[in-house]
Structures are given as C-alpha cells and as structure tokens.
Amino acid sequence: MLASRSREPGKNAARVRYRALAKGRREQKFEELKTITLAGGGWSDCPSDPRAPFLPELREGWGAFAPLDAVIGDCGSGVMPGRTWIIAPDEVSLKQRWKRLVEEPKADKRAMLFQPHMRDGKPGDRHIGKSGKALWWPQREVLTAVEDAPKQVDHEDQKLRLLARRALAGEAPVRYGFRSFDRQYILPDARVINQPNPGLWDNYSEQQILLTAPMDRTPKNGPGLSAVAAIPDLHHYAGRGGRVFALWRNAAATESNISPAVIALLSKAFGAPVDPVDIFAYVAALLAHPAYTASFAEDLVRPGLRVPLTADAALFAEAAKLGREVIRLHTFGERFATEDPPRPPRVGEGGPTQPKDGAIPSTPEGFPDTLEYDAAKRRLLVGTGFIDNVPPAVWAYEVSGKQVLRQWFSYRRKNRERPLIGDKRPPSPLGDIQPDRWLPEYTSELINVLNVLALLVELEPKQADLLKRVCDGPLIPASKLTA
C-alpha cells in the first residue's frame, strides 16, 4: 500500500527499494519482518523511471541481454476456449459431444449444453444461435448458426443446404497444444471458442513453430519456454497464462517474425547473412532448459525472459544446431524432422518401454486412476500397468512448478473431475462424454512423452554448458537494438 500526505506532487521521484523475504513458512516470514529496518542491508534499488515496476533494477549482465519480445517481434495470446468440453485427449469424445449437442431437440437444453457466457442475463461472446466460421485451413467458409442449421437442411438453395449440413457435422477435431508436452484435440470452430485469436490460425502451416513463455510472471523452474507444433492454448506453458511467439508471420512461411534489427546485428557481427530460423533455434537452445531459470532466478524476479546475444559466430552456429534438436523434441519430431515421414523421437536401446506383463488394462474395471513411480525399479506405475526404464529425472520433470507427467495423466485418468475455484460455473455435461476405459492411444502417447522428456534430460548438460560459454564470451548488448 502506498500513501502520500502531500497535496501537491513533488518535483523529484521518490526512492523505491525492494526486498524479498526468505522462502519458508509464514511464521518464519513474520519473524523475519520483525528484524528488518529501513537502514539495514538486504535492500535493492528499483528503477527511477516513472512507469517502472516496483522491482529491482536489472543486474549488470542480465540487463545487457535482449528482451525475448525484442528478438521475436510479434507475440500474442494463445487460444482462450472459454469452455472445457471442446477439448479432449481423444478425437472420438469430441465427435460424440458435438453429436449430442446438435441432436438435442429442446432449444433451452441445447443452450445449456453449449454453455454460453452470460452478460447481464443474456448470452455473451458465444452462444448456440451465433454464426461463426471454420478456423482450420484450408476451409474458412462462413457457417450457419447451430440453432438455425436444422431449419436449412431441406432448403431449396443448394449452398445453404451444404452449409447447414456442415454446421451440424461440425469441424473435425485437430491437434491442440494444451500444455507443455500435452498434445490434445480441439474443435476448431469459431462458434464454440470464446477467443480463438484468428491470427494464430491464419498464419498456421506445417512449417510454423511456436514458442510459449511466461512474460508477466516468474518461471519457478524447468525450461524458460516451450516449443509446440500445434495451435497452443492460452495456458500452454504451465497452466497460468503466457505469450506465444511464432516463427513465421504468414502461412506460406515466407515472412519471418524475427526482429530485423536482430538479424542485421548478428549478420554484421558474423560477417555473413543469418537465417532467421537459426535465430529462433538459438533462442530455444539457450532458454528451454532448467539451467536458464536456475542461473537467472534472481533476475527473473522481475518478469520477462531475456536472451544473451553472442558475438561469436561459432557459438551461434553451435547453439542453432542444438536448438533445432530441442525444438524437434518439444514438437514430438514434427518440426526439424530427422525421419521421413516424421515420427516421435525415441531414446533407443534402454529407453522407456512397456513389457508384456505391464500392459495397462483396456477394460472399464481396469481404468487407471493412479500414477506412481518406483525409483528402485525405474518404473512408472499406471494403475495396475507399468512402463519400465523411466529415469527419475523424467518422473520429476517440471515446467514452472507443474510436474508434467502428473498433469498429463490427470486429463486421461478415470476420474477427471477438477475442483471449482471461486465463483466459476459448473462445466457442461458434455464434458462427461469421455471413454469408459483407458485407450491404446493414451499408452502410445505416454511412451512418446516419456521418450521426449528422457531425450531432453540428456540434452540439459549440453544446454547448460552452452549457456555458460555464451554468457562468458563476447555479447552484443541489447542497447544496440535501438541504436
């Protein structure tokens, strides 16, 4: 809380200082507060700029790194679905939910299933009678509203009949970047998504790569950012917001989203043109690993990721090559593929595998509801089934405090109920339409995730060493971006 006794503004800015309490229990923090004095040590000066946050000044070194949003030009939000029933870890559930919605004969019940957002007692952003369009390329034709479609199926106008049938059929589910390392599916229909952020869809292609990163909060641990090949959710990075940084500005993948100033600076420093794709990969190599968040934990108290720009051409080339591998793993082999056709990466001999006696039951009675880890056997226990050769670091892998495997499993287990927090409305009954057993595709995807995480863990020492060598070597200061 701030207060001023003066009736007139002063001519000089007030001195602002920052102090953080040691991590621990609340009682410990209260005891620490008793010992703090304004004249004592432990305080850090904050910037004097009138618009600066009440956070410490950037430390020497960190302050010379380029802000991530100055390296990759435009960034925005991921998709804000607004309703949970349009997302699922399997396609069949989504098709069944849509079928249940459009076949409901009673309009009021159909509206309840749809789950519109209410404003002043009336449906708001999206509702059952609102027209929309397909988001997924290449079909972007305007569709009739779900409410009106049944009336048009027998219309004399052939085009209207076609649109009505498409409106009732809905758009086929597509891959969706739900969370880091959690690929699910979404109904790509603007009629049901509150804020689809059309630019993401318009600029999407099989060449597009997207990074998601926290920009308004401090990452707790794990990689500083994630890469994804599919359209990402608003909360993709770690379940709590974040920004999306695309490699390309258009679907043809001919317009890079890398800052022209960064391209020019690096090209001048290296004496040769620099490929924007290499800059994108360079960012992934340096920021997408736990050593980044650990090394700069004090600096990241002030939110906003920063990128050290090396002036060493050899180091840059090494980082770009490593970054391509990092992105290949994050995208499950779909980008920078080493195989044709692309396939999910595999550790090789000694990697995660499911023995015959470890099969996860595919019956309603055997639907797993627990996920545990046996460190002695390096075994992941999925209900009564199991997967062997899972390293402890894979089990413990986190993205900003979220344990990847537990979170991934929570959306596929038998009981998928989630607690309602605050004044949230209950979810639509459509969300209850889900498999009554563990699907074989869940096992396949789980093994994909385990292999990806295992390979990323193997890369972490290389990334940490590279980050140190870049920071210890010659750097291009961020100030040159605006010079």
| DSSP string computed for 334-365 | SSS-SSSS-------TTS-B--GGGPPP-SST
* Residue at 193 is within a domain: no
Among residues 138, 156, 174, the one where a domain terminates is 174
Within 203-289, residue ranges assigned H as helices are: 260-270, 276-287
Three-state DSSP class for residue 211: strand
d(Cα 135, Cα 141) in Å, to the nearest integer?
Answer: 9
Query: If you compute the radius of gyration of the chain from its CA atoms, what whole number of angstroms results?
Result: 25
Last residue of one domain, picked from the residues 174, 207, 241: 174
Q: Are strands 243-246 and 226-228 parallel, antiparallel or unpaired?
A: unpaired
- Three-state DSSP class for 381? strand
Does residue 363 lie in a domain region?
yes
Summarised one tens digit per residue, pLDDT across range 19-58 is 666 666 777 777 767 677 766 666 666 665 555 555 555 4
Which residues, 6 or more positions from 116, have their beta carbon under 8 angstroms from its beta carbon? 123, 124, 125, 126, 127, 128
Neighbour order of strands in the sheet with 226-228: 75-76, 243-246, 210-213, 226-228
Please report the pLDDT score of residue 135 as a whole number.
Answer: 57
**Percent of the chain at pLDDT exceeding 90:** 68
With 70 as the cut, is the pLDDT of residue 62 above it? Answer: yes
- The residues facing 75 across adjacent strands are 245
What confidence score (pLDDT) does residue 15 get? Answer: 65
CA distances from 135 to 131, 156, 235, 389 (A): 13, 27, 20, 41
Mean pLDDT computed over 442-463: 99
DSSP codes of every residue in 276-315: HHHHHHHHHHHHSSHHHHHHTTTGGGS---EE--B--HHH
The answer to whether the CB of 42 falls within 8 A of the CB of 56 is no
Averaged pLDDT, 287-309: 97
Assess whether pLDDT exceeds 80 at residue 334: yes
Name which residue leads in pLDDT, 135 or 353: 353
| Domain-located, residue 156 | yes
What is the distance between the alpha carbons of residues 76 and 218, in angstroms, rounded to a whole number? 18
pLDDT score for 476? 97
Return the closest-CA partner of residue 193 out of 111, 77, 86: 86
Q: Which of 174, 193, 225 is the last residue of a domain?
A: 174
The helix (run of H) or strand (run of E) holding residue 34 is: helix 26-35
> Following DSSP, what letter does each residue of 398-442 receive, concatenated?
EETTEEHHHHHHHTTSS-------TTPPPPPGGGG---SS--HHH
CA distance 174 to 350: 33
What count of residues does the chain have?
Answer: 483
Q: Helix or strand or coil: residue 226?
A: strand
Residue 90, by phi and psi: left (phi above 0), alpha (psi -120 to 50) or beta? Answer: beta
Percent of the chain at pLDDT above 70? 78
Helices then strands (H, E): number in the chain?
14, 20
Tell me if 243 is assigned to some domain.
no
Number of domains in the chain: 2
Q: Which amino acid is at 37?
A: T
pLDDT of residue 92: 97
| 46 assigned to some structural domain | no
- The answer to whether the CB of 239 falls within 8 A of the CB of 313 is no
Nearest-angstrom CA–CA distance, 189 and 170: 7
Q: Containing domain of residue 167, as a range?
A: 88-174
Asked whether the beta carbons of 143 and 152 are under 8 A apart, the reply is no
Q: How far apart are CA 186 and CA 177, in angstroms?
A: 9
Statement: residue 222 has pLDDT above 80: yes
| pLDDT at residue 138 in the model | 38
- For residue 150, being part of any structural domain is answered with yes
DSSP sequence for 69-131: HHHB--EE--BB-S-GGGEESSHHHHHHHHHHHHH---HHHHHHHH-PPEETTEE-SS-TT--
CA dist 444 and 448 (Å) reads 6
What value does the mean pLDDT of the chain take?
Answer: 87
Q: How far is CA 196 from CA 12, 13, 79, 113, 192, in A?
A: 46, 42, 5, 20, 9
Residue 189 has pLDDT above 90, yes or no: no
- Cis status of the peptide bond prior to 138, with omega within 30 of 0: yes
What average pLDDT does this structure show over 258-270?
98
Residue pair 253/208 in contact (Cβ under 8 Å)? The answer is yes
Residue 411: count of CB within 10 angstroms of its CB: 17
Of 391 and 73, the structure prediction assigns the larger pLDDT to 391
User: In a 3-state reduction of DSSP, which class is residue 228?
Assistant: strand
Mean per-residue pLDDT, 98-123: 80
114 in a domain, yes or no? yes
- Give the per-residue pLDDT at 166: 58
Residue 162 is assigned to a structural domain of this protein: yes
Structure confidence at residue 144 (pLDDT): 47
Q: What is the pTM of this model?
A: 0.85
